[in-house]
Structure 1
């Protein structure tokens, strides 16, 4: 009897113990760091010793933090025959603001975690200092603290990482109001050592051209990625693990000045160096009357794009007929900035011999290194035009006077040799006439055959070369058409034109309007795009209307034939 009572007591005690462990399960919260900078992240670990399939409600965190990712794990531990199990939720958080932030009590069933206080400070280090101890951090550096409007400003952005990162890293785009931004080349990767610790570095450079005086703010950029788990021997090849990481750069203010009042140039050209050069298709001292000679003038400027360089007005000297020749523009990105180039060519045909004078050509620009105006000049040039190669007419020699021959008697018979000579020449003439007729017939037959072949070839070529206009191309052209007809800003007109052109020629590597014009091989479109680019940089209303560029592109859309790329190749660049 006592044994049965004892067994019942033990079973009851065991039941109460199991009930109490279930009913009074704990739910705790902890963080890996409580003092962080604004651009850093922290890990919040939530632990529950329950077998429930429920998950904690994390939406309450979104008021003060960005939730970058959540990892879940379950562990079981057995010691001396006694088992314990718990679940962990590891949440990666990025603060949204500075100050004292509170991770509020997080509900989990009937339980709540305890609140946790986090101190968030603004990154106060200078742009070039390396004092961050985070596994991933960013530094931004500017080439100048003060610039003039339209002067090139170089932003160097570096992302440092002391841990391995997966290939899903992303960097936010750099968008600045009242400024034009161009990325300088591709992202560079290298390694460096800081305080004895090795870091991998991503480096991106931007050329920024402020368009308005005042204070320009370089916004904070964010970098997101996934840090490889050091315990994973395969570094994520066979698993989807990893810890999300985020880094932010600091905002940087820049003072933008108006052009100095002392500047007297016709066009505002702030540059680190500008040169003006000329070349000739043949030596100027060997030019003769009637020769067609090409004179090429090249403007090259460091820190300016080709769209900022003004078209040259090359004067026509007296005694020379001039014709506009091929001109071009190009931008070359370098580590120190963009080098813009504008090439203007003119064909010259002297009409008389003697000395002709070519007036000087000058461009005034502003030296941003020394803060003073300078002038690039091609000096006045005098050229001696030589007489042309005109040969004097050849006068025919007078026919010799024949002395009178004695009159032949009527009854004198013709020599036999003469009769044979006349007969031979008659046969030769007849033979040549026959060969001539045969040649004409053969040429006519070949001409008819080649005409039929070329007609068939043209039809076949047209059937294969004219690419049907896709729905996306038609939609892009309608957007371009609307921008032109509604009188939108030149920048929007060029952007919609470039998007349509990329789809029309099926070439997404086209980045600039000049590249599109070159691809369509239209000199008229090149000129219109160059003038629109100049209007964008000058901030002025341009005389070119949207109808002009729309008219040119409509004609090109009907007449230009483009070869379609292979359908099985995916687009490398988005449209």
Structure 2
């Protein structure tokens, strides 16, 4: 065979190889873009469409699609309901090497009055495309013979000293002596024998030293104390102490606008309810609960298991695999679920046993929280992908988990079931069969017959190589961008409070800007200034300071290295905003834009000198 003919054959083979590379790269690009723009589905449902006033509705919003591209859905305006988040749950599955997921957002809706209402569309925007759910109709029936709340008989121990007051609050703990990480229920109740003009503003006490879980829904009912009927609002919170010691829970407070009959100029003539409702002007009252104390005991060191990782409560453990039979080098998803009552979020991943002959990948965890009957429970699921490397059987040993049971005051050890998986040899062919001919010369002549003599110009081959390289580089860049994005999201999730602290001023600046966009009243403007500055301080200090006295806030700011002059400036802004928003009698035109600019510049200077 001539050298020129051999060269032509080699060039032909090179072209075929380049074409295969092009097909492969296009497939990779298609897969990447398909994953990035995977279709998102969103659905909303309720557990019941008809409910009695005083009861609650569970709203579930399920979003499915690529796990890395699911933002939090936006709820519609629900002014006729009190809305509480009751946690999220996430389901993850691996099918043919692809990750698919769905996230369920749970909300509890507590209606404010009887009637027929519509829950509007829950929306979600992904890659510029808007996804929405269908509206849901709800009917709230009056409870009993009237639309008022049901009557409840309360224990008199926490209210006996308040019986002669028309407005008061109480706070109680279900336990005063607990172990570290054991659940405590804090119950706040607001009693009023007068009608309210607006929703009261609840300010919880300082829960420093505890992990906090709200326990919705808020209860609304009536009770009778010494013959007087009270409307009661009850709010529950679950607390989990993070370390032993004696803790003092400060005062909880509530700000409410109620009817005021004390300045009635007409004496008893207008004591009729009709005239009272017509002539009274209302007043704002602030009531506070008594401080509470709790003793937190350390967990016993005696008989503590070596694998104990701070879980306290009552739990169970289960493990499973998505396949009982698999070929070599194919993935298996192992699922370990720990469920029960307690601080589920604090559960750590159980130690993965050593399994010979498999490759293990990173574990992905998800949490499902339930707050049914005002008790924190739920499950934490750990999904791990393993790949068997050899045929035979893979035995997944038992997973062991230890926890402390506070009611029995002892440590418990529980184990999951073991799993046996059959691994078959791979059915993929490892060699390529070639045809055998009796005469090499005949085969060569047959091959040459199918070779085209017009191979094309050399520049055409260069173009193919150039395009291949460009596509390869684009694929690598997309992979690197995706990897960087995932790492950035991981960093954000692990350093959320730090990010909030660094972005605190930008968020403050944005909220101030929104205040002066449209026409705003004085009380709304200064109320917005007050709330924005409180949020700024909370974000910077990484502590929720809403409801603190300024003395408490000052101690926190000093500990966070803010100098005395800056603290004084913050105090002046807060006091002025508080005065202006609760002083509607103040007249005169106010240049809100100039005032906002002045406050913004003051906070900007504080930001420059604040090093946390």
Provide the TM-score with structure 2 as the length reference: 0.43
Relative contact order: is structure 1 or structure 2 higher (C-alpha 8 Å, sep ≥ 6)? 2
Point out the structure with the larger helix share.
Answer: 2
Provide the TM-score with structure 1 as the length reference: 0.45
Structure number with larger C-alpha Rg: 1
